Structure 1
Amino acid sequence: MDAQQNIQLFNNAAEKIFGYSADEILGQSITRLMKEKFRANHGNYIKQFADSDIQSRDMISRVMILAVKKDGSEFPVEITISKISINGKKEFTAIIRDVSNRIAFIEKLQHKLNTDNLTGLNNRNYFDGQLVEISQQYKRFGHTFCVLMFDLDKFKMVNDTYGHPIGDKVLQEFAKKTKQVIREVDILARFGGEEFIALLPNTRLKAAKEVANRIRQRISQQIVLSQDHEPVTFTVSIGVAEFSPHDDTESIIKRADDALYRAKNSGRNRVSD
């Protein structure tokens, strides 16, 4: 690129990545290959780089942006820029790498890291991260929220009577039906074994208990068939706690867990705070 950021050289790899022939793109601004929202700051970025003593952006300083192909499709790229002086004039070289496969691989790993394989719900790792984030929002902005702790009643008896494959079906059915009751913004996760946990943003205790009771009622109406086509019913006990100024991420989970045990000790298939 020249000092005005017009493309002077467009090699074969660039043609393959972007879908343009060199004849189509030579003399055009490099911003033509960028997503529109990145174009406005490009001029200032290049000016600062041109006026600095740095000759090239090293590997650590690479900037990842969304580039645009000839057909309008967007894809993530890494760009490393160097500057050279030819006959007293500054020119620039941009090494561009399509990192679509790398990003997809990272997203796949993140999904695997944060997802419970059996139920498809979020797992404890993901929930803990979200709880930290929403508790920080509470302390900064006062956005209240509640935590619901679930435990499937007498689940060991289901496994002992019908076998673990049927127990797995019960867990999957619970996850499916509970997701139908809560909002999209709510976060439901498998806490471990037959225990689940939910995070309800912008929700006070009374409303959270109403949600919990709707879940409890929905679950009590569900049936899973055993291998002998025998109907298997199940219920859930739920503990509810609202985050307070004295709470942290550990104490709010403990209070929800304590409420859960009160629900179970009072007869199961109940909601308690």
Structure 2
Amino acid sequence: MVYPRLQQQLQLASFVVTIMALLQIALGLVVLLGWLWGHSDLTVLAPGFPTMKANTATGFLLAGSGLLLMVKRCLMVTLIIGFALMTTATVSFLQYPFEINTGIDQFWVEDTSSDQFPGRPSEMTAFVFIITGLVLMIVAFRKHQYPAGDEHNLSTNWGLNTLIVVGCSPALTGLFTYFYLPEALFETRPFASMTIYTCLGFVAFFYGISLRSKGSILREILFRDTPGGRYFRRMILPILIFPIVFGFVVQYATGENWLQPAFATALFASIMSLVFVMALSYSANQQDRWQLALSAQADARAQAESKMSLVWESDQAAVMLFDERGFVHEANPGAVAVFGWSIEEMKTMHLREFMPEASRHRHELILHNAVHDNSINRYTMDDPERVFGLNRDGKKVPLVITVSRQNVGGKIFFGAVMLQVDKLSQRVNGLIKEVNMDELTRVGNRKSLEKRLAALSRHRLRDGYTVAVLMLDIDYFKHINDRWGHTLGDKVLRGFADRVSGCLRHGDSLYRYGGEEFVALVVCEDLEQAEAVARRILRSLASAPIPAEDQALTVSCSMGIALIDESITSARECLKLADQALYAAKASGRKRYVCSAWLDRQPPS
């Protein structure tokens, strides 16, 4: 993948390829003219070095021309040049194993500089030219076949890269040997007449073709803006320079008889093995770190997607995704519940269609500012008196809206999460009610009783009214649990709470204090009214049994009553007095009520 910010480097690569092609053309022309004009000094590096053959010069002239024409997109001509180069090089190469002379060696000029195989390129030169022509044909064919650059055929890519490595290896081997000991190259038959010009020309060609071919590993990794690409560009020069310098040192030490050849070879092999092991270890560690980073990113993405799906799939919150122009791209079931249109319908609509006429201009200004101000990534509109949506029926819907700004592929998108204020209030009220309610009996729990008592302590009732605290305890409830089990006991508790609640008036409230104990707060003018409520509760319990599964149990209760008046300093004190009265009722035989005023009042402990 080529990243947009590396386009400059790609243009530089095309320039470098053009220079490489021109250098090969110049090399071929200079040597060929040296042969044609009889200037032997143009065909050899130095006296005693082999000359570049005329056919070799012609090969570089063709290879450079093919590479240059490929840059200019003259692909059919490049294909023909590659075929011609591969064919002539194959003929030259086959002359060696079959010991024949086809006459192609001195087709251009007569070679009088050598007695053995005059005019014939070395075996390795002919072999590399075969690879050169084949690579030219493959790259030109692929560029002609895939003009849009869609060349991602894995097998073809690996085949091309293998050919480039096979073709470049002999050239690098010859080049390094020239640096160390040129005579060793001349004495090796496949390389015997391979000049340093030839080695440099091949290296230049394969480097250029690597930069020009999209399937080349070298091009891919050089122009890849990733940790691997940056690591490769940082390490390539040291990796290339180290073995060259170290090999030169070992060669010099061997030539000066400081080291024995066998020991020098062992030294070179051991040092290079250590270098490779270190490089392999570093690469393995880097791969592990990248893998861990990828795993962490994948986990974070999965968690984010999971959290997002909870919101997206919910029908409690409306979620919309829209672009910088205000057109809706996606919506969730919650948006259907709030606005009434289907998801497919909303994806064809503009944001203004979801807003009352009076609000449209204001929201369009907000959207415009969010698009053009990069500092705004998220904003919330939570004024229920000003923020309204418009549903399908034309009714205003009060909303709380949170909008987030995202940049996706260079385009700006916005995600809006909208909560319907009235439904939100209902939900909040429901949660508050659940927190303050006993789960089993569905009456107030002890926490809500304490809040109510605290409020009564701060604000006494006006207009002659007060509150009586009735503390109730179901008689012999432990026997019910022991005989019939806790499941039936729970149903008795629910039935008892329902029966008592039915005896209370509007404004009175019932709370479960704990276990089988309940507290009723009764608004009254005097103690007599509170006693009337207590008698009504006792009569209701005695009049009919409480149904529980297939049983019907008659239950009774004991009650203690205390009245909040001027003599009591707090509602909690009144609760303690009611508890004392309850204890007295139970001690008197149960199934009755006792008022704290009937007792010898003592300050509660």
Q: TM-score of the superposition, structure 2-length normalised?
A: 0.32
SS state at 1:97 partner: strand
Find 2:443's aligned residue among 103, 106, 121.
121
Residue pair 2:510, 2:520 contacting (<8 A) in 1 also: yes
Q: Name the counterpart of 2:559.
A: 238
Are residues 103 and 260 of structure 1, via their aligned partners in 2, closer, same or farther at CA, if it must alter by over 3 Å?
same
* Aligned residue runs from structure 1 range 67-106, under 5 A: 67=388, 69-70=390-391, 71=393, 76-78=398-400, 97-99=418-420, 102-103=424-425, 105-106=427-428
Give the aligned residue type for 1:155: F
Give the aligned residue type for 2:357: Q
Q: Name the counterpart of 1:144.
A: 466
Are residues 260 and 97 of structure 1, via their aligned partners in 2, closer, same or farther at CA, if it must alter by over 3 Å?
same
Q: Could you report, residue by residue, the CA deviation over 1:170-211 in whole angstroms, capped at 9, with x for unpaired residues?
A: 111111111111113211111110000111234432101110
Q: Name the counterpart of 2:545.
A: 223
Q: Could you report, residue by residue, the CA deviation over 1:7-58 in whole angstroms, capped at 9, with x for unpaired residues?
A: xx98758x97557976768893249xxxxxxxxxxxxxxxxxxxxxxxx9x9
Give the aligned residue type for 1:117: E
Residue pair 1:64, 1:79 contacting (<8 A) in 2 also: no
Residue pair 2:354, 2:390 contacting (<8 A) in 1 also: no
Q: Distance in 2 between matches of 1:189 and 1:173?
A: 14
Give the aligned residue type for 1:29: A
SS state at 1:115 partner: coil
Give the aligned residue type for 1:250: R
Q: Name the counterpart of 2:357.
A: 28
Matched, 1:155 2:465: no
SS state at 1:146 partner: strand
Are residues 96 and 60 of structure 1, via their aligned partners in 2, closer, same or farther at CA, if it must alter by over 3 Å?
closer
* Aligned residue runs from structure 1 range 37-48, under 5 A: none
SS state at 2:473 partner: strand
SS state at 2:459 partner: helix
Residue pair 1:222, 1:234 contacting (<8 A) in 2 also: no
Q: Name the counterpart of 2:574.
A: 252
Give the aligned residue type for 1:205: L
Larger radius of gyration: 2
Are residues 73 and 168 of structure 1, via their aligned partners in 2, closer, same or farther at CA, if it must alter by over 3 Å?
farther
Residue pair 1:127, 1:187 contacting (<8 A) in 2 also: no
Q: Name the counterpart of 1:173.
A: 495
Residue pair 1:146, 1:201 contacting (<8 A) in 2 also: yes
SS state at 1:119 partner: coil
SS state at 2:440 partner: coil
Which residues of structure 1 form unaligned runs of 5+?
Answer: 1-8, 32-55, 81-94
Are residues 118 and 27 of structure 1, via their aligned partners in 2, closer, same or farther at CA, if it must alter by over 3 Å?
closer
Q: Distance in 2 between matches of 1:122 and 1:103?
A: 21
Q: CA RMSD in A?
A: 3.8
Q: Distance in 2 between matches of 1:149 and 1:197?
A: 4
Q: Distance in 2 between matches of 1:215 and 1:72?
A: 52
Q: Distance in 2 between matches of 1:72 and 1:210?
A: 54
Distance apart, 1:216 and its partner CA: 1.3
Q: Name the counterpart of 2:17.
A: none
Q: Name the counterpart of 2:24.
A: none
Residue pair 2:356, 2:390 contacting (<8 A) in 1 also: no
SS state at 1:272 partner: strand
Q: Distance in 2 between matches of 1:164 and 1:26?
A: 56
Give the aligned residue type for 2:483: T
Q: Distance in 1 between matches of 2:555 and 2:381?
A: 55
Are residues 23 and 114 of structure 1, via their aligned partners in 2, closer, same or farther at CA, if it must alter by over 3 Å?
closer
SS state at 2:569 partner: coil
Q: Could you report, residue by residue, the CA deviation over 1:70-113 in whole angstroms, capped at 9, with x for unpaired residues?
A: 43767553368xxxxxxxxxxxxxx9932456545534432321
Residue pair 2:355, 2:389 contacting (<8 A) in 1 also: no
SS state at 1:29 partner: helix
Q: Name the counterpart of 1:192.
A: 514
Residue pair 1:162, 1:226 contacting (<8 A) in 2 also: no
Q: Distance in 2 between matches of 1:121 and 1:153?
A: 20
Q: Distance in 2 between matches of 1:147 and 1:192?
A: 16
More helix by share: 2
Are residues 139 and 234 of structure 1, via their aligned partners in 2, closer, same or farther at CA, if it must alter by over 3 Å?
closer
Give the aligned residue type for 1:28: E
Are residues 24 and 192 of structure 1, via their aligned partners in 2, closer, same or farther at CA, if it must alter by over 3 Å?
same
Residue pair 1:63, 1:79 contacting (<8 A) in 2 also: no
Residue pair 1:62, 1:78 contacting (<8 A) in 2 also: yes
Distance apart, 1:266 and its partner CA: 1.2
Give the aligned residue type for 1:242: L
Are residues 76 and 118 of structure 1, via their aligned partners in 2, closer, same or farther at CA, if it must alter by over 3 Å?
farther
Residue pair 1:144, 1:203 contacting (<8 A) in 2 also: yes
Distance apart, 1:159 and its partner CA: 1.0
Are residues 24 and 159 of structure 1, via their aligned partners in 2, closer, same or farther at CA, if it must alter by over 3 Å?
closer
Residue pair 1:68, 1:75 contacting (<8 A) in 2 also: yes
Q: Distance in 1 between matches of 2:488 and 2:582?
A: 24
SS state at 2:559 partner: strand
Q: Distance in 1 between matches of 2:381 and 2:453?
A: 32
Distance apart, 1:133 and its partner CA: 2.3
Distance apart, 1:153 and its partner CA: 0.7
**Greater relative contact order, per chain length (Cα 8 Å cut-off, separation 6+):** 1
